Structure formats: structure tokens, C-alpha cells
């Protein structure tokens, strides 16, 4: 995404590839987002024909909603906070199951301006869930809030695309 809310060229290209693969395979995706606040879903739904592949999304910006809406274990949140790889995994699994999608993608992290849960600005965890496994990546991103959020969207879509290419041949 860009400052004016438009989808960046990189996001658009990744999202088009994701939607094409999902649509052609008759599969779907759902997004669970924290620091990106809906930007992953916005990138996906900016693609014409996205309605064939996007089930929906959940913006769980505050920690409590990660537990209530997505089923992230409260004990995990209490022990580690919301900026933790296991939280991204649970968010991706939760949104996939709750929204009935083939794949779930999740973002959690610190875009700034201040650290959160003892984690520095730029610490981000992204995950992609399928029925048989979930992959998670930890990112250390630099730059301002907008750049961190934009890169999180791009990296999330790239992780999803890689997972789709493994499954859909």
C-alpha cells in the first residue's frame, strides 16, 4: 500500500498471482491482521475476480480480540504478548478454520512508533496456514510505520504465493 491508500505495484503483482492460483484451483484464502489493519485483505480484494478466492478477513488489532475472534490461546498471549511467532501461527490457523478457507494468512508485529510487548519497532511475524501445516516467518524490518506495514503486506503475500506454488501444481 502507499501513503494515499493505493495498492503498490509490488503488492498488486503478488496479489494478482495469488488470486489467479487460488481461483484456478478452486481454493480460498482468509486474512487475520493486526499491524496491517486490513491491508493484506485490501491488496487481495483490489484484484478483479478476488471474490472467487477471498473468503474474508479479521482485523484483530488489540490483543484481546486475537483470543476472542481467532482462538489464539490466552496463556500464549499472557506469556509472550501479541508479537510472537506462535501468535501468528494461531491467527492464521484460526482465521482459516473460522472463515472456512483453504488457506489462512496472518500478520502481527510492531509498526511503531513505540516498541510493544518488549519487542522493537520493525519486529513482525507472518504466517500462512493450510490444513496440513503452517509456516511462519519472523522479520526485522527497518523504516517508518508506513514502510514496515507495506513490507509486511508484500512479504505476507510472497509467503502465501510460495505456499500456493508448493500445493497447487
User: For the segment 58-96, what is each residue's pLDDT rounded down to a tens digit?
Assistant: 999 999 999 999 999 999 999 999 999 999 999 999 999
Q: What is the pLDDT of residue 6?
A: 67
End-to-end CA distance of the chain: 29
H helices present in 26-62, as ranges? 39-45
Give the global pTM.
0.96
H/E segment holding residue 141: none
The answer to whether residue 4 sits within a structural domain is: no
Specify the residue for cell string 500500500. 1
Domain total for the chain?
1
Tell me whether residue 3 is in a domain. Answer: no
Residue 132 lies in a domain: yes
Sign of CA dihedral 79, 58, 19, 10: negative
In degrees, rounded to 5, the angle at the alpha carbon of residue 107 between the alpha carbons of residues 103 and 52 is 35
Residues 6+ apart with CB under 8 A from 141: 122, 124, 147, 148, 151, 152
Q: Does residue 1 lie in a domain region?
A: no
104 Cβ partners below 8 Å, 6+ apart?
29, 30, 31, 32, 91, 92, 93, 94, 95, 96, 97, 127, 128, 129
Q: What is the mean pLDDT of residues 156-163?
A: 98
Structural domain including 139 reads: 9-167
Q: What is the pLDDT of residues 100-152, one digit of tens each?
A: 999 999 999 999 999 999 999 999 999 999 999 999 999 999 999 999 999 99
| CATH number (domain holding residue 95) | 3.90.950.20
CA distance 96 to 45: 17
Residue 96 phi/psi, 5° resolution? Answer: -60, -45
Amino acid at each position: 500500500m502507499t501513503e494515499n491508500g493505493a495498492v503498490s505495484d509490488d503488492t498488486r503483482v503478488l496479489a494478482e498471482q495469488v488470486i489467479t492460483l487460488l481461483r484456478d484451483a478452486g481454493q480460498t484464502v482468509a486474512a487475520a491482521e493486526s499491524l496491517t489493519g486490513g491491508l493484506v485483505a485490501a491488496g487481495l480484494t483490489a484484484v478483479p475476480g478476488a471474490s472467487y478466492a477471498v473468503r474474508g478477513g479479521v482485523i484483530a488489532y488489540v490483543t484481546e480480540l486475537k483470543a476472542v475472534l481467532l482462538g489464539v490461546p490466552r496463556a500464549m498471549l499472557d506469556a509472550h504478548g501479541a508479537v510472537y511467532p506462535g501468535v501468528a501461527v494461531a491467527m492464521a490457523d484460526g482465521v482459516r478454520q473460522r472463515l472456512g478457507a483453504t488457506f489462512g494468512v496472518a500478520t502481527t508485529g510492531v509498526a511503531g512508533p513505540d516498541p510493544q510487548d518488549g519487542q522493537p519497532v520493525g519486529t513482525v511475524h507472518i504466517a500462512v496456514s493450510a490444513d496440513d501445516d503452517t509456516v511462519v516467518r519472523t522479520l526485522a524490518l527497518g523504516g517508518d510505520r508506513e514502510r514496515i506495514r507495506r513490507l509486511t503486506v508484500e512479504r505476507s503475500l510472497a509467503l502465501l504465493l510460495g505456499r500456493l506454488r508448493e500445493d497447487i501444481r
